[in-house]
Amino acid sequence: MADADDRADAGDRPTQHPGILSPRMTGSLARRMIAIAAIWISLLLIGGGFALDRVLTGAITRNFDAGLEYVLIAMIRSSEIGPDGEVRLIQPLGDQRFLEPYSGLYWQISGEGQEPYPSRSLWERRLDTSDEHNDDDMHVYDSNQFPDEELRVLERDVVLPGSKTRWRFQIAASRQSLDEQVRAVRATLIPSLGMLGLGLIVLAALQTFYGLWPLRHIRRAIAAMRGGQNRRVEAPLPLEVQPMVDELNALLAHNEKQAEEARLHAGNLAHALKTPLTVLVNSATGNDSPLAETVRREAATMQRQVEHHLARARAVGRRGAAQARANVRDSVDSVSRAVAALYPDVRLDAAGDRDLVVCVERQDLDELIGNLLENAAKYGGGSVFVTIGRDGAMAEILVEDDGPGISPADRTRIFDRGVRLDSGKPGTGLGLAIVRDVAEIYGGSIALEESEDLGGLLVRLRLPAG
């Protein structure tokens, strides 16, 4: 039963085809950007709010202490030593709260060996006069010496004229008003920063969605292309997105060109094989032809066509290989030796830049030069000259012969597949067509001209220089 249940569960699960990887989602780009903005805004506002709170709280506290310090200095200036050696105030302090018991504002004068001299507002309580420190300068601190009232205390030790006693003058005030001011500031600061943070996060979200909106347009445009409604992404887009769209359109054009070249290649191959196959069929059915010799000859022709078209197909596949490099002179020397073996009566010479490099695979460069040299040796008068040079970003390979040449009217038609101007010599009529196709695949070109030095045909092959 367990096996049956396992098989049933397996049947309900979607089938994972081998070799096809499911796309892994990495989350929303918009959510990432908003989350990063929210975290950064929160950190900045928390840090800034803490710093602002410290600044405002410190300002309120300093202002509070300044008021108490003013009263303390006034009390010191109003103090003198009486006839019995005790301290007294020659004029009362102006604030009436010093006269009201437990009013929250107190003063006290204390001396060693002397009874403390307090304000009426202290009533029966006394301020702490710890001798753990000397207050030659103003000393400010918070105190919890009264259980029901937190105090802010300012004190200073003074030796009054006519007395050797160090008198400690103290002013104390309830922290209630100070704490209320701090709470009022924080009650305004925290909601304000919260509203600011929320507004900034909403602004970041709107900016993110607006900024990523062109990507949604691109997605819809691609969907339209897949549905056959459009062929390119044509709407104007922001500067940051337009290069990506240009690359996408270039990729689409590249794919279309490759598809067209594949169709052309199939047509060339079919055309190249059609005639040899027809000859084979006719020879096999006829009684007068030497069948074996014909089969060998036409089979060799078909093999050469297949090799040519396969070379072209390889060139199409390597079109985007930026690392492809080949030395022109090395290829010319190698091909010249092979052509010289086939046509021993033909003289082949080469001159020019020995270090010139082109952005072409060596195998394809040999194919290009081989076709040109073979044609020059086959149709020329016995002399072939190759010149290697450079024209800006392009390398130029000039192949000249001393043959009859080609008339201007036939220089365009000769590139059509299967066209041969001299049918008396063996061949397929595909050599120049293949050279043109492969050169264009690599971004080059070929042109036919008249040789001024040898009087025959001059073939100008241009390829991107490395």
Domain boundaries of the chain, sorted by first residue: 28-211, 256-317, 326-464
Distance of CA 15 to the CA centre of its chain: 36
Least confident of 46-50, 330-334, 451-455: 451-455
- Identity (one letter) of the amino acid at 400? E
pLDDT of 426 over the 80 cut: no
Q: Give the list of residues 6+ apart from residue 402 with CB closer than 8 angstroms, or none.
A: 380, 381, 382, 383, 451, 454, 455, 456
CATH fold for domain 28-211: Beta-Lactamase (3.30.450)
Whether the model clears a pTM of 0.95, i.e. scores above it, the answer is no
Contact between 353 and 390 under an 8 Å Cβ cutoff? The reply is yes
CA distances from 398 to 99, 372, 438 (A): 117, 10, 17
Does residue 116 contact residue 110 with C-beta atoms inside 8 Å? yes
**Per-residue pLDDT band at 425 (split at 50, 70, 90):** very low
**How many C-beta atoms lie closer than 10 Å to residue 39's C-beta?**
11
> Position of tokens 């049918």?
423
Per mean pLDDT, which range of 16-30, 82-96, 260-274 is the poorest?
16-30
Spatial distance between the Cα atoms of 180 and 190, rounded to a whole number of angstroms:
15
* Residues 206-226 pLDDT 10s: 988 888 888 788 878 877 776
Cα dihedral sign, 96-102-108-111: positive
Q: Which pLDDT score is estimated for 185? A: 93
> What does the longest C-alpha to C-alpha distance in the chain come to?
162
Q: With the C-alpha atoms ordered 381, 383, 389, 393, is the resulting torsion angle positive or negative?
A: positive
Residue 355's pLDDT band (boundaries 50, 70, 90)? very high
Strand-pairing partners, residue 139, are: 155
Q: What is the mean pLDDT of the chain?
A: 80
Q: Which residue has the tokens 């900024």?
A: 211
User: When comparing pLDDT for 19 and 307, which is higher?
Assistant: 307
Q: Give the count of beta carbons closer than 10 Å to the beta carbon of residue 332.
A: 26
Mean pLDDT is lowest, of 154-163, 238-247, 304-313, for 304-313
Is pLDDT of 204 > 50? Answer: yes
Could you tell me if 329 and 356 are in contact, meaning their C-beta atoms sit under 8 angstroms apart? yes
Closest CA to 443 of 348, 321, 336: 321
Q: What is the pLDDT of residues 25-48, one digit of tens each?
A: 567 788 888 999 999 999 999 999
Torsion (CA) 400, 402, 404, 409 in degrees, nearest 10 = 20
| Residue 228 parent element (H or E) | none
Q: 5 to each of 10, 13, 14, 282, 291, how far by Cα in Å? A: 9, 13, 16, 67, 68
Superfamily of domain 326-464: Histidine kinase-like ATPase, C-terminal domain (3.30.565.10)
Q: Which one is predicted more confidently, 89 or 295?
A: 89
**Scanning the structure block, which residue is given the tokens 């604030």?**
95
pLDDT digits (tens, 9 = 90+) for 371-387: 899 888 988 888 999 99
Pick the residue with more confidence: 242 or 110? Answer: 110
Percent of the chain with pLDDT over 70: 76
**Average pLDDT of the residues in 312-334:** 71
Categorize the per-residue pLDDT at 404 as very low, low, confident or very high, splitting at 50, 70 and 90: confident
Look at phi and psi of residue 156 and say left if phi exceeds 0, alpha if psi is from -120 to 50, else beta.
beta
**Count of CA atoms in the C-beta half-sphere (13 A) of 213:** 9
Residues 151, 179 contacting (CB under 8 angstroms): no
d(CA 305, CA 151): 106
| More reliable by pLDDT, 225 or 184 | 184
Which amino acid, 255? N
Higher pLDDT, 9 or 231: 231
Token pair listed for 252:
């689409």
Structure tokens that stand for 204 in this block: 């970041």
Question: 97-106, 119-128, 268-277, 391-400: which range is least confident on average?
Answer: 268-277
Q: pLDDT tens for residues 53-62?
A: 999 999 999 9
Rounded mean pLDDT, 60-85? 90
Q: Are 158 and 135 in contact (CB under 8 A)?
A: no
Share of the chain above pLDDT 90, in %: 35
- CA 100, chain centre distance (Å): 74
Specify burial of residue 115 (Cβ count, 10 A radius: 0-12, 13-18, 19+): exposed
